[in-house]
């Protein structure tokens, strides 16, 4: 029986997962998204076009592939409709190749309002949520009050009314003023649109594909350091972004997991609040942001930038069981004379080389400096063209991380992807 390969981010999200799923899709029969919601934007560029996917798997552009939105995903019907119609307008017909799990939970209009109300109530302690209703939806799921995609086929008005009433009681207790009319109208249009798609028992479909020796790629959203259990809590997302999440998010057994592709940037970024030990507040940080175009694909928010953090990266590799690494945005470092990499932290005067229980502003990075390559790599098509200093950077990372870097991205386009030979 075939195994499911997993592709996920190893940092604080925005690593470039969408592009790599698109690159790897020709090797797979099924692409399945296993967690997260429309707060995660996967950007793909090819043939002079740029696409941003929020809920739809990134394999949708490769013909003849099955794409599945798994049970671990939370779905906003109105945003899904916008996303799917935009793709349809550009010539990509989704209705024949996109399947949606009946067990995926729906983001209700009141979930979005609750998200804003909870953030407002936190004051200076805000998490930095995208306001898409993700957290409240997962909260309802865990407390057994959720509304699922399959519910739209059975007793939906009754189920929706009960959930809405419960949310409105909470909003009343928070004294939060809101107008539901426009959100709700768009949402119900999205519900009708959802009914045009194939709503399936995704766990049955995926396991049947495995029994038929079909190859499956599980696509994660956000990044490992945003995992609700193992990330920089409480500044995390509301789901399990790690490889174990694909088992619960798709309904596959742990023994069915094969390769685990871990994606990371050649430097580090983070959106929203939360600790970030290697964050740069100087001209270097500004330069990384500007060259890397570090703005959220969904929110437009400017990303915080810093040097690569190998302490956090080793931790992410460990808990995911990563078998192959993929390095993104190598080209962003092309003009730097010196590249820094964090190999440890100083906490209360003590040097620490494993990821601690919590990190805060008092954690100081311990850096190793390496010479930059100062070469434009964006037009390179083979690793034979890599400058010596870049090869040294790769070798340093592989020695520190103890996992091979198999793919290197040297630009945003699908074609700017170099697959390295195995030694």
Q: Which of 234, 237, 252 is nearest to 358 (CA)?
A: 234
Residues contacting residue 121 through CB under 8 Å, at least 6 positions apart: 174
- Paired tokens of 172: 């009343």
Asked whether the beta carbons of 370 and 389 are under 8 A apart, the reply is yes
Which residue in the list 5, 22, 42, 334 is annotated as catalytic? 42
Residues contacting residue 82 through CB under 8 Å, at least 6 positions apart: none
Give the Cα separation of 270 and 244 in Å (integer): 23
Task: Tell the residue number behind the tokens 């996992």, with chain if given.
Answer: 403
Which residue in the list 14, 140, 309, 331 is annotated as catalytic? 14
Asked whether the beta carbons of 53 and 219 are under 8 A apart, the reply is no
Give the Cα separation of 315 and 401 in Å (integer): 10
Let me know if 14 is a catalytic residue: yes
Torsion, CA 381, CA 383, CA 388, CA 392, rounded to 10: 130
Instruction: Write out the catalytic residue numbers.
Output: 14, 42
């Amino acid at each position: 029986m075939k195994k499911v390969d997993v592709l996920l981010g190893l940092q604080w999200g925005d690593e470039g997962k969408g592009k790599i799923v698109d690159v790897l899709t020709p090797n797979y029969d099924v692409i399945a998204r296993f967690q997260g919601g429309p707060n995660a934007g996967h950007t793909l560029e090819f043939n002079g076009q740029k696409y941003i996917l929020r809920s739809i798997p990134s394999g949708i552009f490769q013909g003849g592939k099955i794409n599945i939105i798994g049970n671990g995903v939370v779905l906003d019907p109105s945003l899904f409709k916008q996303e799917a119609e935009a793709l349809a307008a550009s010539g990509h017909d989704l209705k024949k190749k996109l399947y949606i799990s009946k067990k995926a939970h729906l983001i209700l209009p009141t979930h979005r309002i609750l998200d804003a109300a909870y953030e407002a109530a936190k004051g200076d302690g805000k998490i930095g949520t995208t306001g898409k209703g993700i957290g409240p939806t997962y909260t309802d799921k865990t407390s057994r009050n959720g509304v699922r995609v399959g519910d739209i086929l059975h007793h939906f008005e009754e189920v929706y009314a009960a959930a809405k009433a419960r949310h409105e009681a909470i909003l009343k207790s928070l004294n939060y003023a809101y107008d539901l009319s426009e959100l709700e109208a768009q949402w119900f249009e999205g519900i009708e649109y959802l009914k045009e798609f194939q709503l399936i028992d995704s766990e049955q479909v995926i396991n049947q594909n495995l029994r038929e020796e079909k190859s499956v790629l599980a696509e994660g959203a956000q990044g490992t350091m945003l995992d609700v259990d193992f990330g920089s809590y409480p500044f995390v997302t509301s789901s399990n972004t790690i490889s174990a999440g694909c088992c619960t998010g798709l309904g596959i057994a742990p023994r069915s997991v094969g390769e685990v592709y871990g994606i990371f940037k050649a430097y580090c970024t983070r959106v929203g609040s939360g600790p970030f030990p290697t964050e740069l507040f100087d001209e270097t940080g500004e330069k990384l942001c500007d060259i890397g175009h570090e703005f959220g694909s969904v929110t437009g928010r400017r990303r915080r930038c810093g040097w690569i953090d190998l302490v956090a990266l080793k931790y992410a590799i460990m808990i995911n069981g990563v078998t192959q690494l993929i390095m993104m945005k190598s080209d962003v470092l092309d003009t730097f004379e010196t590249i820094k990499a964090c190999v440890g932290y100083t906490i209360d005067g003590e040097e620490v080389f494993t990821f601690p229980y919590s990190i805060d502003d008092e954690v100081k990075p311990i850096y190793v400096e390496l010479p930059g390559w100062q070469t434009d790599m964006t037009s390179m098509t083979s690793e034979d063209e890599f400058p010596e200093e870049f090869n040294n950077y790769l070798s340093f990372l592989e020695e520190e991380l103890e996992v091979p870097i198999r793919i290197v991205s040297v630009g945003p386009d699908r074609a700017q992807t170099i697959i390295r030979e195995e030694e």
